[in-house]
Amino acid sequence: MQRVEEQIKRLIDEINYEEVSRLFATLSGGKRLRAKLILKIAKDHEDAPLLAAIVELIHAASLLHDDVIDEAMTRRGKASVNATDGSKTAVMLGDILYSKAFTELVVFDKLVAQTIAASVTALSKGEMMDVKMAESFNSDEHLYLDMLYLKTATLIEAAAKASALLAGKNAASHALYGKNLGLSFQIIDDILDITSDAATLGKPAMNDFVEGKCTLPYIYLYHAMDEQDKHRLVSLHTKELSSEDAEWIKANMKHYQTIEKSFALAQKLSNEAQEAMKDDEELVAILETMIKRSY
């Protein structure tokens, strides 16, 4: 991973603007999941650290823009750039990181570059769908999963596929692994938003629903409820939840086992990913750690 951090530093230095270096230094790097995946899959390839750095810059850019769009004041437990330096700066920093990443991407094989580039179009489309879908209560599970795939799984899928291409490994099975890892990761994140407390989350619990996001446990709940309860649930969408309303939602989720049902889907996707990668212990271990984050 040190080689990835060195590449990231080199790319930022090459932008040659003190303000960018200063702002970038304030960002928390996060788990670097995508970079770790690339290094594991293409560990012997000399360009793997650069590819990993490119993908991390794209991811960082997408989060900068996402925090502007979501008007989020914190990111990874720190104040967001839009909170400290304003939305204009956050957008511009995102633009610089994103275009620097693409400038570097052109040195790669056409198929590798295309894989990453296409995923960024998909992720941007997914973000737009997410915002649109939050405007009203969405009860369509397939639409939700399509959006989730585009917004969060495509870049992980592309990272896995592109590094497999680089390493001469099976691109399709690695792509499937990345896609399902991304999807189950996000489904578990959605579950944790409901089951964890504010201190663990670093933001209020059940914040997704307040922000308009009808995640799987809410979608399943809607379909399980009678008309009267459906009406009450929909009326709470995007509202600040009183503790009574929050408890009502949670009690019904327990009654109809909608958290368990959501977890079962994450588990199924994770099992499929495991099946695709059964000979690779390290990649299987990543899946297991991720699934265990739940509850």
Place of tokens 């938003």: 193
65 vs 237 by CB, closer to ligand FPP: 65
Beta-carbon contacts of residue 43 (< 8 Å; ≥ 6 apart):
167
Cα–Cα distance between 148 and 293 in angstroms, integer?
Answer: 19
Footprint of ligand FPP on 141-180 (CB under 6 A):
151-152
Nearest distance from residue 67's CB to Mg ion, in Å? 6
When asked if residue 294 is in the footprint of ligand FPP (CB under 6 A), the reply is no
Q: Is 260 exposed, middle or buried (0-12, 13-18, 19+ CB in 10 A)?
A: middle
When asked if residue 206 is in the footprint of ligand FPP (CB under 6 A), the reply is no
Nearest distance from residue 275's CB to Mg ion, in Å? 31
Beta-carbon contacts of residue 144 (< 8 Å; ≥ 6 apart):
133, 138, 214, 215, 216, 219
From 7, 38, 94, 138, residue interacting with ligand FPP (rule: CB under 6 A): 94
Q: Residue 198 corresponds to which tokens in the numbers above? A: 């504010």
Nearest distance from residue 129's CB to ligand FPP, in Å? 11
Footprint of Mg ion on 18-77 (CB under 5 A):
66, 70
Q: How far apart, in Å, do the first and last CA atoms of the chain sit?
A: 29
Number of residues that bind ligand FPP (CB under 6 A): 15
H or E stretch covering 78: strand 78-79
Q: What mask, x for binding Mg ion by CB under 5 A, covers residues 242 to 261?
A: --------------------
174 binds, among ligand FPP, Mg ion, none (CB under 5 to 8 A by kind): none
Applying CB under 6 A, the residues found at the interface with ligand FPP are 58, 61-62, 65-66, 70, 72, 94, 98, 120, 123-124, 127, 151-152
